[in-house]
């Protein structure tokens, strides 16, 4: 055995740990990680303006790939730190776990939790510059990452101490940095991704101006919403039929939590609650959402009783009834945030439930006191009563489904070809378009862990139907029965029979539509499948390029010219119009073999964007759908593709 002694213990100095294991700090060195190092700087600026020390932030994307973030806050401290013996600016950008977020006297509320943000961005940049306007003066400092004479990487090293550069009449901080291409190989910051996040932050911080400039393309946008999250609710409800014109806006705070809430009911059949803590999206909800739901349900039932809108013999309505068609934005600010869940997007603080529930009841009582808003209360209650009737119809439909399932698995006989293994974490369900492809998949699969569920036709578009109508659709019922999780309020992910649910459809318009319909169904009625990362899309090949002794499968138009060149003269091309054109061996080799296949994981990183896309693409507003397609579709793709092939 080799010896293990003290000399074998590696001590990483400064920011070396970040450089050696970037995934520990930013999750990934992919495109999400690249944007993460920008968000760290933006979040610092947002903490300044969110706490009332400024009102504008400007982000500039330069042609060389560098980025500038400038705010008009107080400016990072420039005086000498009492223990570190260097300027506050240098401490913030070179020391992990250093920052003003640990002191509640400095920031009442903060999106930064661990004090690693600015230093991590510095460590993963080729160079970084900071300019601070403070106390009537301008200060500056530069950092860089490089290899020393011995080939050792030095990360975020200052070229010297903070310097005084002259006088200034403004306050704030300007950070310029170039993400290191040695870490983020070939990746560039994306305008659209940044734009979406800035819009969201502008909604959450009423009156704050957020400007985005792209020097490469000339694009420029400014976001500022005087209505704050009230405008956010209206934005989310674009394209939906609204039951009342203006969203209800409530705000209140106690010693621990500040709450903002905006909500508006639509004629849709599912709810959409978007929540945040200190500007951080909580896509998995948490205790603050539980508090909101509890307070909203309790108040509405009490109001209905008090105003004789529910008869004495009628039972109380449940939360799902009051939330049918509801769009709500809940934003709270608090200290000492505790997150739960694998993705750290679920609030766990138990006090949040109690406080938010109390504040919701308190503010709704104020809002609905008197006669001014009685009509609005009646609209909400009538919608809830209608939802209760549908709920009862859905309950009966579920009961029928359960009875059918108990009678020799009525729904699944001749449809689901189950796997022999019984461990959900090792099992996969392929939801396959068409009987022909389903037949090939059944023959080509590994029956030990792969189950096949063919779909005869297109399932129902859940975006346009009530729950009882969704349950009446045979294709949807077979999916529910196969997964064993139930649906809607009764959904229980612990009962999930397969931890990989793989949508497998043709690589054409109809196949894309089926994928969209199934993803919409999961998003509306089994959302936890998506947030838990259980839904995948299988990618079948578009072409087979072959000749006597060589065969290549091609999965995109962009890959085709390269494949043709590799196969060489005398090649032939087969365009797969559908999965059914492949025999079982080909389907296994190209699409189902875990060693060779490509799966796309369906995730919910941006709940706001997901909601907007589902409503736009799957809803009733034809004009909104046309506008989206005209904006985003690449109508020149075919011409470009033909040019590539001819070359």
CA–CA separation, 607 and 575 (whole Å): 36
Please compute, for residue 1, the number of CA atoms within 13 A of its CA located in the half-sphere on the CB side. Answer: 3
Over the range 203-220, which residues count as b (16 or more CB within 10 Å of their CB) and which as e? bbbbebbbbbbbeeeeee
Could you state, in order of their start, the residue ranges of all structural domains in the chain? 16-223, 229-390
595 in active site:
no
Over residues 427-464, the pLDDT tens digits come to: 999 999 888 889 999 999 999 999 999 988 778 888 87
| Architecture of the domain whose range is 229-390 | 2-Layer Sandwich (3.30)
For the segment 243-248, the average pLDDT, to the nearest whole number, is: 95
510 in active site:
yes
Give the chain's largest Cα–Cα span: 85
More confident residue, 608 or 192: 192
Lowest mean pLDDT across 7-16, 59-68, 86-95, 292-301: 7-16
Residue 15 gets which letter from DSSP? T
Neighbours of 598 (CB within 10 A): 13
Strand pairing category for 428-433 and 450-455: parallel
Per-residue model confidence (pLDDT) at position 447:
95
For the segment 608-625, the average pLDDT, to the nearest whole number, is: 78
Annotated catalytic residue, options 260, 320, 321, 506: 506
Bin 156: left if φ > 0, else alpha if -120 < ψ < 50, else beta: left
Per-residue model confidence (pLDDT) at position 116:
60
Among residues 209, 139, 208, 145, the alpha carbon closest in space to that of 174 is found at 139
Taking the model in full, what pTM does it have? Answer: 0.77
Annotated catalytic residue, options 40, 200, 433, 463: 433
For the segment 341-351, the average pLDDT, to the nearest whole number, is: 79
Task: Please give the share of the chain, as a percent, with pLDDT higher than 90.
Answer: 55
How does residue 102 score in pLDDT terms, banded at 50, 70 and 90?
A: very low
Burial of 312 (0-12, 13-18, 19+ CB in 10 A): exposed
Annotated catalytic residue, options 220, 508, 558, 566: 508
- Fold category of 16-223 in CATH: Heat Shock Protein 90 (3.30.565)
Whether the pLDDT of residue 1 is over 50: the answer is no
Per-residue model confidence (pLDDT) at position 297:
97
Annotated catalytic residue, options 147, 435, 510, 593: 510
43 in active site:
no
More confident residue, 441 or 624: 441
5 in active site:
no
How does residue 592 score in pLDDT terms, banded at 50, 70 and 90?
A: very high
Lowest mean pLDDT across 30-34, 182-186, 453-457: 453-457
Per-residue model confidence (pLDDT) at position 115:
43
């Amino acid at each position: 055995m080799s010896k293990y002694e003290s000399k074998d213990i590696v001590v990483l100095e400064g920011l070396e740990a970040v450089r050696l294991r970037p995934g520990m700090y930013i999750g990934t060195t992919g495109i999400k990680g690249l944007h993460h190092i920008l968000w760290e700087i933006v979040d610092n600026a947002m903490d300044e303006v969110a706490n009332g020390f400024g009102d504008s932030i400007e982000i500039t994307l330069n042609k060389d790939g560098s980025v500038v973030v400038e705010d008009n806050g107080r400016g990072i401290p420039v005086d000498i730190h009492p223990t570190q013996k260097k300027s506050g600016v240098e401490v913030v950008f070179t020391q992990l776990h250093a920052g003003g977020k640990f002191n509640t006297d400095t920031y009442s509320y903060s999106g930064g939790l661990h004090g690693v943000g600015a230093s991590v961005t510095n460590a993963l940049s080729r160079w970084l510059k900071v300019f601070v306007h403070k106390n009537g003066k301008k200060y500056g400092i530069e950092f860089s990452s490089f290899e020393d004479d011995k080939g050792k990487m030095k990360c975020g090293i200052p070229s010297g101490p903070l310097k005084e550069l002259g006088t200034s009449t403004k306050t704030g901080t300007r950070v310029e940095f170039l993400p290191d291409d040695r870490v983020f190989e070939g990746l560039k910051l994306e305008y659209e991704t940044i734009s979406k996040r800035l819009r969201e932050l502008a909604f959450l911080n009423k009156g704050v101006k957020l400007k985005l400039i792209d020097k490469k393309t000339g694009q420029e946008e400014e976001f500022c919403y005087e209505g704050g999250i009230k405008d956010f609710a209206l934005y989310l409800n674009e394209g939906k039929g609204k039951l009342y014109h203006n969203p209800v806006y409530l705000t209140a705070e106690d010693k621990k939590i500040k709450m903002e809430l905006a909500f508006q009911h639509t004629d849709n059949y599912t709810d959409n609650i978007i929540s945040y803590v200190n500007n951080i999206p909580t896509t998995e909800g948490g205790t603050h959402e539980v508090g909101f739901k509890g307070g909203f349900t309790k108040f509405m039932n009490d109001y209905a009783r008090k105003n004789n809108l529910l008869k004495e013999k009628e039972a109380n309505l449940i939360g799902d009834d009051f939330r049918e068609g509801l769009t709500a934005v809940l934003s709270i600010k608090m200290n000492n945030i505790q997150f739960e869940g694998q993705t750290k997007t679920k609030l766990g603080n138990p006090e949040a439930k109690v406080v938010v529930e109390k504040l919701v009841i308190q503010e709704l009582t104020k809002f609905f006191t008197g006669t001014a808003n009685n009509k609005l209360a009646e609209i909400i209650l009538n919608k809830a009563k209608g939802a209760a009737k549908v709920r009862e119809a859905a309950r009966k439909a579920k009961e029928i489904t359960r009875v059918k399932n108990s009678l020799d698995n009525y729904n699944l006989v001749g449809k689901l070809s189950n796997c022999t293994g019984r461990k959900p974490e090792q099992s996969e369900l392929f939801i396959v378009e068409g009987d022909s492809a389903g037949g090939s998949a059944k023959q080509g699969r590994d029956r030990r862990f792969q189950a096949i569920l063919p779909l005869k036709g297109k399932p129902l578009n859940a975006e346009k139907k009530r729950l009882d109508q969704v349950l009446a659709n045979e294709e949807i019922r077979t999916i529910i029965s196969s997964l064993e999780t139930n649906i809607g309020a009764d959904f229980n992910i612990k009962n999930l029979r397969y931890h990989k649910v793989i949508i497998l459809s043709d690589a054409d318009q109809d196949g894309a539509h089926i994928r969209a319909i199934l993803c919409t169904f999961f998003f509306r009625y089994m959302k936890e499948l998506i947030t838990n990362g259980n839904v995948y899309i299988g990618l079948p090949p578009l072409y087979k390029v072959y000749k006597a002794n060589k065969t290549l499968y091609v999965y995109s138009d962009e890959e085709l010219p390269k494949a043709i060149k590799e196969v060489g003269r005398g090649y032939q091309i087969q365009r797969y119009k559908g999965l059914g054109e492949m025999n079982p061996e080909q389907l296994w080799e190209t699409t189902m073999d875990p060693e060779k296949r490509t799966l796309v994981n369906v995730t919910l990183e941006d709940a706001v964007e997901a909601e907007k896309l589902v409503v736009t693409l799957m809803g009733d507003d034809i004009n909104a759908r046309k506008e989206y397609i005209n904006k985003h579709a690449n109508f020149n793709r075919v011409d470009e593709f033909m040019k590539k092939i001819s070359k």
